[in-house]
């Protein structure tokens, strides 16, 4: 369960790999949620095991209109229909892609000051 932000502001992800991420001159092992109000630890470990509950914190923290970029690991994986339904019900866009593509896209959109969020699975 997410407790508090690892970093309390929206900021670019400067590196990913080796099971974690770098941002704001800090490193974090494991997956992360990049939300407008900060970067949070995320307990998800495998895209094949995604459940709607894995996104409860993000869904309750985001205000539409916004899109969540879903980094699904080394390869792009399509989430189950019930996950898409949960996002549609919340009026939040969901765009799955590999973690690398999601991190790069997130960084561009943050630099352009666009409303964006990302859920990034850690990659080896």
Q: 32-85 pLDDT, tens per residue?
A: 999 999 999 999 999 999 999 999 999 999 999 999 999 999 999 999 999 999
Domain 15-120 bears CATH identifier 2.30.40.10:
no
pLDDT tier at 6, thresholds 50, 70, 90: confident
Q: How far apart are CA 70 and CA 83, in angstroms?
A: 11
Say if CB 104 and CB 11 are below 8 A apart: no
H or E element in which residue 34 lies: strand 31-35
Can you list the alpha helix ranges (DSSP code H) found in 1-124?
A: 56-61, 81-89, 99-111
The reported pTM is 0.95
Q: 45-59 pLDDT, tens per residue?
A: 999 999 999 999 999
Mean pLDDT of the chain: 96
């Amino acid at each position: 369960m997410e407790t508090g932000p690892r970093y309390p502001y929206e900021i670019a992800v400067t590196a990913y790999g080796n099971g974690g991420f770098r941002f704001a001159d800090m490193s974090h092992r494991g997956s992360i949620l990049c939300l407008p109000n900060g970067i949070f630890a995320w307990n998800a470990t495998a895209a094949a095991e995604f459940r709607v509950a894995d996104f409860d914190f993000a869904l309750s923290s985001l205000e539409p209109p916004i899109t969540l970029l879903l980094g699904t690991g080394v390869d792009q994986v399509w989430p189950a229909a019930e996950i898409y339904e949960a996002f549609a019900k919340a009026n939040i866009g969901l765009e799955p892609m590999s973690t690398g593509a999601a991190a790069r896209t997130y960084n561009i959109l943050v630099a352009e000051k666009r409303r964006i969020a990302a859920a990034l699975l850690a990659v080896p």
